Structure 1
Amino acid sequence: MAPSVADLKTEESAAPTKADVKPKPSGLSYPFYYPYYDVDEKFPPTQLFEHTDVGARADPAKPNLLTPNAITRDISTYLGTEITGVQISQLSKEGLDELALFAAERKVLVFRDQDFKDLGPERQIEIARHFGPIQRHPTSGNVKGYPEFHVVYRDPEHDLFKEYRGRERASGIQWHSDVSYEKQPPGTTFFFILDQPGVGGDTLFLSQVEAYKRLSPEFQKRLEGLVAVHSAVKQAEFSQKRGHPVRREPVETEHPLVRQHPVTGEKALYVNQGFTRRIVGFKTEESECLLNFLFDHISKGADFHIRATYAPGTVVVWDNRVTAHSATVDFDNAIRRHAVRLTPQAEVPIPA
């Protein structure tokens, strides 16, 4: 059982405040989305719900998404497609269904030149809810009055990347699938780029489908049926230590090591260094040995990785069920990086 919030307090905890009320720095392109923290904000436990992936009803030809104006460029063979000539804000319900299917097939979609005048917070939330209930993050900065948003922000006064990964680490890379500790982790996910360095600040993505395919058939069979624990505890401990909120009791949830996508039927590894802690039924050394091999396998698989490059007005859509990703902290924190994520939850992971 995961510890309670009270158990996470340490002597090093910063004194909590009602809310983060620091003045917003100048120069923000979108000050509305500046991260907001309220230690008194609390969310109830997430509840199980019936989920049907909207991609299952999509037209495979995708006429409402890939219109004659759409220009696509595949970033690699296994994942990643860049799209211009499509405004997400203008997509019909049928177009959004096709977006879910395309994201499942290509794993990561990078939409360029999105007009945020037509893609304000209400429309962003409306679009995301088409794919499932939006996960409200238990610890991150959100937008005041809009707890659905997870804010990603870095500047000289606000550098959680370095603090969370550890100042003594030689690399900031940490592969993860967003909030995989949830009972129903996310599927189709949206990431809106607001302010971005001219160089750097990209995201690495990998295909967990191709990572699974690269394993031998005998090894694949050994992994199928195994279950691993995904934990929110470390994330909650970090937030508690900084005097930031823990809005929901941290959970630990068991998920299959290999899951199957409900629409494409593809099998994918479902492990990530950020949240996967141990394999159920294995002794400690056995679990560490197998998980470390899988972490090493996915992190070194450069031939099934991509590097998604960004600019203001980029919107990235990816399927968290079949991918993992990592920020790249390769820019000076004197340069602002600002983005927001909406994370609709999907089905309970289906074992392969």
Structure 2
Amino acid sequence: MVIRTMSSLRNASTTQTFDHASPAYRSTYTLALTGRDWSPPPSRPAPIFATALSHSATLPTESDFDRVTINVNSEGACEPRYDEDGREVDERGFPATLVPSGALDPHVYPRSDLAPAIGTEFDPSVQLADILDAPNSADILRDLAILISHRGVVFFKHQDILTPQQLATVTKLLGELSGSPKASGLHIHPLTSDFSESGEFIGKISNEREANGAQISFADERSNFASAGWHTDISFEPVPSNFAALRMHTLPPTGGDTLWASSYAAYEKLSPAMAQMLEGCTATHHADMFKEQASRYGFPLRTEARGHPLNVGDHLSASHPVIRTNPVTGLKGLFVNKSFTKRINELSRDESNIVLEYLYRLISDNHDIQVRYRWGLSDVAIWSNTSTQHCATFDYDGPRGGDRAVSLGEVPYYDPASRSRKEALEAAYAV
């Protein structure tokens, strides 16, 4: 038997899922990937991730997402194929989904899921600085990138010894080790005005106008609707972000939580007809507000290459698929956001406005696909910008700030053969 990634099996004539393997085989690979022993269920129920998902059905856990990437091909594996960046691709040239190595062993790096659809928190004993120093740090960080790509966002508590430079290093390596193109590095935000404190690739999140290198809009520009802030980082760039990390060094006594929502789960709330229509659409994203802020407050707009040769100039606009495939997981999710998405290109303006408002509400109005995180001092969040959106909560007084690093991925694409998360789990559990 040969382990294959899901994307490499999409066009195979005969495939088997993980559940077709022997119990001993399944136990070996479940333990390797999740740190948990596999045990057969007492009976085989109908798939719980059917289209008509019961409200009482158990939602996927971290171990379920690990299983999604396991397939067994009875006909044997093809020779690996690679693109010009050295990334493995499938028979059609799309990136092959990644399989974890087992280096991020849950017994060594304990963690727990915060919500069924999104969010995993590591035990405070897990320190990112120690992971960087580990002899197998590359394997651990690659597996961490895979975990983040499935779970959306992960949290590390009390990262007191982690420096801003180490935060940037972790973020950059997550992208590199999970297959980012060679031309993609760390992003330079167009409003980053001063790099003297922490280096040019480390941004500042601050609610103080005078903060050195601050990148976030000011208090007098906030909407009265808290949900207006939902966004995916820098989706206005031709090559947007895949991973972002934030370490909070200044917190108010209470408030200032951040929410994340799963784009995978938002996609799954679409009717089949709506999903099919949107899978053929693109949308324009732009950030004209940053140019206005730069002019108003005297910030220089960064017009040089912002982490990728395509992210250059003062035209802060790009067109991306409305439904996007995550190259790490092979799963598809909704890729529009209220802050930067302005128009679905294939629809009339009136149609676009109505559809976009509905899609925004799929994110903001569904708390079952969200996780809300209460920050502690020196906590770190790392999230997938490919498959999540996030929103800060401005319910506090006093300073709130942190160090931020953003890595760049690929030009967004939609793979017609990609699956929803439910479809992938159904296939993994199929008889």
TM over 0.5: yes
User: Equivalent residue for 1:274?
Assistant: 339
Deviations 1:91-147 (A, max 9, x none): 21111111100100110101112132xx22332332222124000000145542612
CA distance in 2, matches of 1:256, 1:57: 19
Q: Which residue in the other structure is 2:166 paired with?
A: 123
Alignment match, 1:187: 242
Matched, 1:112 2:147: no
Q: Which residue of 2 aligns with 1:66?
A: 105
Gapped runs of 5+ residues in structure 2? Answer: 1-83, 89-94, 132-136, 177-184, 304-313, 416-431
Contact 1:229 1:278 in 2 (8 A): yes
Q: Where does 1:301-340 land on structure 2 (aligned, <5 Å)?
A: 301-332=366-397, 335-340=398-403
Provide the identity percentage: 30
Does the 8 Å contact 2:237/2:316 carry over to 1? yes
C-alpha separation in 1, matches of 2:86 and 2:325: 15
Q: 2:145 aligns with which of 100, 106, 115?
A: 100
| TM-score where L is the length of structure 1 | 0.78
Secondary structure of the structure 2 residue equivalent to 1:95: helix
Q: Which residue of 2 aligns with 1:153?
A: 206
Match of residue 251 from structure 2:
196
The Cα shift of 1:157 comes to: 6.6
Aligned residues: 296
- Larger RCO (CA under 8 A, 6+ residues apart): 1
Change (3 A) 1:218 1:156: closer
Q: CA deviation at 1:287?
A: 1.2
Deviation at 1:67, TM superposition (A): 5.0
After superposition, the Cα gap between the structure-2 partners of 1:184 and 1:292, relative to the gap in structure 1 and judged at 3 Å, is same
The residue identity in structure 2 corresponding to 1:315 is V
Q: 1:274–1:95: structure 2 CA closer, same or farther, 3 Å change rule?
A: same
How many Å apart are 1:301 and its aligned residue? 1.0
TM-score by length of structure 2 reads 0.64
How far apart, CA to CA, are the structure 2 residues paired with 1:188 and 1:242?
A: 29
Letter in 1 for 2:146: L
Alignment of 1:164 onto 2:217: no
1:312-337 C-alpha deviation (Å, 9 max, x unpaired): 121101000000011100111xx221
Report if the CA contact (8 A) 2:246-2:403 is conserved: yes
What amino acid is the match of 1:272?
N
Label 1:95 to 1:277 Cα distance change in 2 as closer, same or farther (>3 A). same
Q: What value does the CA root-mean-square deviation take over the aligned residues?
A: 2.4
Structure 2 counterpart of 1:88: 128
Q: Kindly provide the CA deviation profile for residues 42-76 of structure 1, in whole angstroms up to 9, marking residues without a partner as x.
A: xxxxxxx95959x979652532x335342212111
Distance change in 2, residues 1:100/1:94 (3 Å): same
Counterpart in the other structure of 1:138? 190
Distance in 2, Cα, partners of 1:261 & 1:81: 19
The Cα of 1:171 is off from its aligned counterpart by 3.4
Question: Shift of residue 289 of structure 1?
Answer: 1.2
**2:208·2:218 contact (CA, 8 Å) conserved in 1?**
no
Q: CA contact under 8 A between 1:52 and 1:347: conserved in structure 2?
A: no
The alpha-carbon deviation at position 232 of structure 1 amounts to: 2.1
Aligned counterpart, 1:286:
351
Residue in 1 that maps onto 2:363: 298
Report if aligned partners of 2:192, 2:302 keep a CA contact under 8 Å in 1: no
Amino acid at match of 1:236: K
Question: How many Å apart are 1:173 and its aligned residue?
Answer: 4.2
Q: Indicate if the aligned counterparts of 2:228 and 2:338 stay in contact, CA closer than 8 A.
A: no
Query: Which AA in structure 2 matches 1:105?
Result: H
SS in 2 for 1:264: coil
1:339 maps to amino acid: G
Structure 1, unmatched stretches of 5+, are 1-48
Compared CA separation, residues 156 and 230, structure 1 to 2 (3 A) = closer
